[in-house]
Copies of this chain bind each other. A is one copy, B any other.
């Protein structure tokens, strides 16, 4: 292990985190709230620690896979430990474990919260909380791009471990260009949502906070009632649209910009992504119209919002969906395991893997009747290697395994099945709210310290997304 290099890179990561703290510090100064000093202390601590780490003298520039993994893993933990300082020092979150949980939840774009009353928090804190979503949203992708030049070729491993989905192979030859495309799209879409939310009657502060939460598919809000507190169909639909945009592959926006309409329309992951979403929206709209809302438009807006929110792993809510029927809740629960597209900010298993696995199952079923037929699984006209298929299958099974054992451990809290299972599904998939004990009207505050640490670990694991384990 090249530990000197690993820790030096942590220094750069901390400097970026510190830069991120400047905006909330300014906000707290201008809104003249109580969190100015805490932000100043946090920023100073982070800058100093970061600076000291970057002073490490490198003797060996070589970076191996192991080192790349260590950089990324430690990077998330360092970012969360220092990112938690403003919450802890300001007293907004009195327990450090809670502050750590909240920050992990932010950077991993989960949006699970341990804060029972958000509305009393100072603006700087609320801004920082959502800003972690936005920073985390594109993962350490941005960090990786900034850090890459210092790493030389070894930086590839960082990128490989952090690119949001199994698309690295395509990107490798022009890694910096692609990263630039990804975050340019990211910034343009951010601005668009910000402006559109202003039109909906949100204050600039609320607009920016919710835009951060949407783009990063995070889910932190300024209101205890989440998006439902605004009770505006315009806002519901705008945020639904931007959640869906954030859950799609960002490289498609570049293709659109280049005028490659046909390729975008033919993209099989996009089709499946929208197909699953459409199926869910329609099924829930019909079910809920008859069982709860008795109004087609009302059913549609909540169905569209919750389906998009859960599938893209955002976690905003417009309604306490725990009141829905088991069928509609079941669809949401299923969507928790689908997630966003590759190259998006969404987490969970991801549509591309679901697509490939569905094709694999189809092929294996065909073999029952035609045992000697040799058919390869194809994606976009290209055959997928058999060992890649095994790799993705293993990813899926490992995901289910972690979900099962995680749920068993969480059930030791003495809560019900749905609370335990959805808490694990919602953290591992970086979603946020689940059902029952962690439903839309609840928080993660009541878990024990051990469970909070376990769930933090699951959020990190989910965001880390085993990506390096399933690239092709």
Seen from chain A, the residues whose Cβ lies within 8 Å of a Cβ on chain B are: 65-66, 69, 325-327, 329-331, 333-334, 357, 360-361, 363-365, 367-369, 371, 386-387, 389-391, 393-398, 400-401, 404, 407-408, 411-412, 414-418, 420, 435, 468-469
Contact = CB atoms under 8 A, between A and B. Distances in A.
Contacts of A371: 65
A330 B411 CA distance: 8
B396 A397 contact: yes
Number of this chain's copies in the assembly equals: 2
A330 B394 contact: no
Contact of A364 (B334, B411, B412, B469): B469
A400 B400 contact: yes
A369 B65 contact: yes
Contacts of A360: 390, 393-394, 397
9 contacts: A326-B414, A330-B408, A357-B397, A361-B394, A365-B394, A367-B469, A390-B393, A417-B418, A418-B418
Contacts of A386: 386-387, 390
Contact of A416 (B326, B357, B364, B468): B326
A310 to B, nearest CB: 15
Contacts of A412: 327
B414 A69 contact: no
A276 to B, nearest CB: 13
Contacts of A327: 408, 411-412
Contacts of A407: 330
Given A69-B368, A368-B468, A414 B325 contact: yes
A464 to B, nearest CB: 11
A425 to B, nearest CB: 12
Nearest to A407: B330
A153 to B, nearest CB: 16
Question: Top 8 closest A-B pairs, CB basis?
Answer: A393-B393, A364-B394, A326-B411, A327-B411, A330-B411, A330-B408, A361-B394, A368-B469
A422 B400 CA distance: 17
Contacts of A435: 417
